[in-house]
Amino acid sequence: MVPVELGFPDGQIQSVTITATQSEPDSTWVHLGPASERELPLYQRDADKPYWFKYLEDSKTVYFKFNAISSPSGFERLKTFRQRLFQFVDSHDVERLVIDLRDNEGGDNFNDPPFIHDLLQHPKLDQPNSLYVIVGRKTFSAAMGLSVMLERFTNAVFVGEPTGSSPNFIGEDVQLVLPHSGMQVSLSDLFWQYSVAMDYRPWLAPQIYAPPSLPLFRDGRDPAMEAIMAEKR
Lowest mean pLDDT among 8-22, 104-118, 144-158: 8-22
18-35 CB burial, b ≥16 within 10 A, e <16: eeeeeeeeeeeeeeeebe
Query: Would you place residue 1 in the very low, low, confident or very high pLDDT band (cuts 50, 70, 90)?
Result: low
Bridging pattern class, strands 96-100 and 131-135: parallel
> Which residues, in sequence order, are CB contacts of 48 under 8 Å at separation 6+?
none
pLDDT in tens, 118-148: 999 988 899 888 999 999 999 999 999 999 9
First to last CA, the chain: 54
| Domain-wise residue ranges, the chain | 49-230
Of 54, 39, 121, 110, the C-alpha closest to 85 is 54
> Which residues, in sequence order, are CB contacts of 3 under 8 Å at separation 6+?
15, 16, 17, 18
Percent of the chain with pLDDT over 70: 96
pLDDT of residue 35: 60
* pTM assigned to the model: 0.84
Query: Would you place residue 36 in the very low, low, confident or very high pLDDT band (cuts 50, 70, 90)?
Result: low
pLDDT in tens, 137-196: 999 999 999 999 999 999 999 999 999 999 999 888 889 999 999 999 988 888 989 999
Q: Give CA–CA dist 79/101, Å, rounded.
A: 17
The dihedrals phi and psi of 174, each to the nearest 5 degrees, come to -120, 130
Q: Confirm if 134 and 160 have CB atoms less than 8 A apart.
A: yes
CATH class of segment(s) 49-230: alpha beta
Average pLDDT in the chain: 90
